[in-house]
Amino acid sequence: MLPFFVVIPLACAFLISLLGKRIKNLSDILANLGTLALLILSLYSIGLVNNHKILVYKVGGWIPPIGISMVLDGLSSFMLVIVGVVSFLVTVYSINYMERFTDKWKFYTLFMLMLAGMNGVIVSGDLFNLFVFLEIASIASYALVAFGTEAEELEASFKYAIMGSVASSFILLGIAFLYSYTSTLNMADISLVLSIKEPGLMVSFIAVLFLVGFGLKAALVPFHAWLPDAHPSAPAPISAMLSGVFIKILGVYALCRVFFNILGVSDKIFFVLTILGVISMILGAFLAIAQSDIKRMFAYSSISQIGFIIFALGIGSPLALLGGLFHLFNHAIFKSLLFLNSGAVEYSTGVRDLKRLGGLNSRLPITGFTGLLGAMSISGIPPLGGFWSKLIIIIAAVQAGYFMFASIAILISIVTLAYYLKFLGFTFFGKLDDAWLKIKEVPWAMRFSMIILAIICVITGLLLIPILRPFLQSAVEVLLSGREYSSIVFGAIR
């Protein structure tokens, strides 16, 4: 059943591009059915991983070190669930939202291609295949950013495409070096060969190439310049996808897989990840305060939150990894919720500038309330999901002896609260401008997505209770197993 994660979105993209123009509404139905199927499959995969620990699919029946393999383990299934949930709700949202654009079917085609690429990156067990899927997802996203074809969107897309392509070239160069060093491309096999060889300068050099490549995709701070342009310029559902899952799959997930399971982590890599994480955290938060464009503020906030996740990964203790992955899940949910909120505001008023909005809570009650929940969750107000993940990360940082970084993390949480209060205050509270007296609440499909995401936002804290905990724990165990990954994969083949 593993190939279906790639086959379903690819087939949908093909059918939509073929028939979407002729038959009206077909693209809506097909895209929603496709993402619904992916959501169900990904939820089903949790059970499979619980029973079998790991599943390996051999493409074309060739045995893996020679043939291509697809691997489903705890981390993959965790990521697939995130992609499934967010992409399904985003397609439901797009039914109404994308009416503002012409050629909706083109949007859905590109969207499904991007989804195929992302799912492919997650399930791929072969390093070059990972690169190919990564490029499929990236190229689709370059086109989606430029979807509105206004001047700003084209400019942002060009910048994004150039930086993304340079990142891809770095990753390909890294793969070339790794192939010349180990003579294999299968991830488990590379890990096996590297564990036999002596650790040398070559591995560090490859690690740097991958760090630059995936760091650019994840928008860590020295490489973040494209994100604040690209994410606000895209249509709101795509911003939600890009900020919610795209940078996490192509950046954080790929980084984790390569560093933890293939190259093996050392103290040096942990140190670099911690420093990069803290810098992203600080810079993202402080740049976000100064913004007056809603989506631009959220984009900078994404950089800051990705910093939290990378910082947690850099601490490297089991508790920190749990916190990091939990924060990744939470961030996917509330950041997509917030981008959908900004889309709803833009849908009804046509404005994204904070200074011109105000008092919309009386006109858009559902958007206002879900936006409040999302903003409170991301800034870490107690019963909501974001609080627990940040708490775990900070406790883990204190346990590991990073007292200064832990206090910086607390400070940044407060700054986060400050700029989200600014967003709420300027958008939903205060005096209603006369211009917005006549606007109405957004259509039902958009409301549905926002309400579901807000509910998930409230209840994510439950993932920590013992019954639901295996879902997170199995993902953490994959990262903790490190180089054992190869023996686990080869054990599953035999």
Crossing angle of helices 403-427 and 365-379, rounded to 10°: 170
Window 204 to 243, contacts with other proteins (CB under 8 A): 228-229, 233
Residue 124 DSSP class: B
Q: How many CA atoms, within 13 angstroms, populate the side-chain half-sphere of residue 184?
A: 19
Compute the distance between CA of residue 66 and CA of residue 58 in angstroms, rounded to an integer.
Answer: 10
Smallest distance from the beta carbon of 307 to other proteins, in angstroms? 19
Q: Shortest distance, CB of residue 148 to other proteins, whole angstroms?
A: 11
Q: How far is the CB of 371 from other proteins (least distance, A)?
A: 22
Least distance to other proteins, CB of residue 292, Å: 9
Q: From the CB of 140, what's the least distance to other proteins, in Å?
A: 10
Q: Are 354 and 422 in contact (CB under 8 A)?
A: yes
Footprint of other proteins on residues 258-297 (CB under 8 A)? 287, 290-291, 293, 296
Q: Which residue, 45 or 168, is less far from other proteins as judged by CB?
A: 168
Sites for other proteins among residues 293-352 (CB under 8 A): 293, 296
Please state, in angstroms and rounded to a whole number, the distance separating the CA atoms of residues 60 and 303. Answer: 40
Return d(Cα 357, Cα 435) in angstroms, integer.
Answer: 9
| C-beta of 113 vs 322, nearer to other proteins | 113
Q: Find the part of the chain contacting other proteins (CB under 8 A) among 179-187, 357-365, 390-398, 477-485.
A: 179-187
From 36, 43, 172, 381, residue interacting with other proteins (rule: CB under 8 A): 172
Q: Is 189 in the site for other proteins (CB under 8 A)?
A: no
Smallest gap from residue 192 Cβ to other proteins (A): 18
Give the whole-angstrom CA distance, residue 445 versus residue 442.
8
Nearest distance in Å: CB 291, other proteins: 6
CB of 161 or CB of 357, closer to other proteins: 161
Contact 446, 75 (CB under 8 A): no
Half-sphere exposure of 302 (CA within 13 A, CB side): 38
Stretch that binds other proteins, among 38-46, 169-177, 193-201, 475-483 (CB under 8 A): 169-177
Torsion of CA 177, 321, 288, 86, to 10 degrees: 90
What are phi and psi for residue 109, nearest 5 degrees? Answer: -60, -50
Dihedral sign for Cα atoms in the order 74, 75, 77, 81: positive
Residue nearer to other proteins on the CB measure, 178 or 269: 178
x/- track of binding to other proteins for residues 128-167 (CB under 8 A): x---x--x---x--xx--x--xxxx-xxxxx--xx--xx-
CB of 130 to other proteins, least distance (A): 12
> Given the structure tokens 């200064």, which residue do they identify?
404
User: How many binding residues for other proteins (CB under 8 A)?
Assistant: 36
Instruction: Give min distance, CB of 474 to other proteins, in A.
Output: 32
Of the pair 189, 229, the CB lying nearest other proteins is at 229
Q: Residue 293's beta-bridge partner residues? A: 353
Structure tokens at 143: 């086109």
Specify the residue, 186 or 460, whose C-beta has the smaller distance to other proteins. 186
320 Cα distance to chain centroid: 19
| Residue from 11, 173, 395, 468 binding other proteins (CB under 8 A) | 173
Tell me, residue by residue from 94 to 133, as one string, x for binding to other proteins by CB under 8 A and - for no binding. Answer: ----------------------------------x---x-
Sign of the dihedral defined by the CA atoms of residues 204, 210, 212, 214, in that order: negative
Residue with Cβ nearer other proteins (74 or 117): 117
Query: How is residue 442 written in tokens?
Result: 């957004």
Rg (CA), the chain: 21
Quick one: CA dihedral 330, 333, 336, 339, positive or negative? negative
**Dihedral sign (CA 200, 202, 204, 206):** negative
Long-range interactions of 199-203: CB distance < 8 A, separation 24+ = 199/264, 199/266, 202/177, 203/263
CB of 159 to other proteins, least distance (A): 8
* Alpha carbons 198 and 1: distance in angstroms, whole number: 38
Nearer to other proteins, 180 or 407 (CB): 180
Give min distance, CB of 282 to other proteins, in A. Answer: 17
Task: Provide the binding-site residues for other proteins, judged by CB under 8 A.
Answer: 128, 132, 135, 139, 142-143, 146, 149-152, 154-158, 161-162, 165-166, 168-169, 172-173, 176, 179-180, 185, 228-229, 233, 287, 290-291, 293, 296
